[in-house]
Amino acid sequence: MTVQRRTNPVSDCPLTAALAAAGGKWKLIIIYWLAEGPKHFAGLREQMSSISQKVLTEQLRELIADEIVHREQTGAAPTPVIYSLTDYGRSLLPLVETVRLWGRGHIERFEGASPP
């Protein structure tokens, strides 16, 4: 499987580059689950039951293109494929943890609060 490198949509903007690589609704969640260890596609779908197969496939392809996720075919098709974080992908784990902690605090801030 040949993967074409994705380009940064806004040149010389580090925030745009970061958000293109790891932003969106699902990418940090995929990275979070792969941090536990390599998973088959079905294992990721099980962890992320509200993501469609199509969207998970698209997100994984983008993460592979950005060299954040490694895709390993375990044999001839249709043999299962295993996904894992690359070393480069592991460099995102402190960011994932920071966002997770912030999200936990955000949830707690508004739990039990009366609507405006």
> Per the confidence metrics, is the pTM higher than 0.85?
no
The span from the CA of 45 to the CA of 15, in Å, is 29
Number of domains in the chain: 1
Domain at 81, CATH number: 1.10.10.10
| C-alpha R_g of the chain | 16
Q: What is the pLDDT of residues 19-58, one digit of tens each?
A: 888 988 999 999 999 999 999 999 999 999 899 999 999 9
Phi and psi at 79, nearest 5°, equal -60, 145
Q: Are 62 and 27 in contact (CB under 8 A)?
A: yes
Residue 112, Ramachandran bin (φ over 0: left; ψ between -120 and 50: alpha; else beta): left
- Structural domain for 95, as ranges: 20-110
The answer to whether residue 99 is domain-embedded is yes
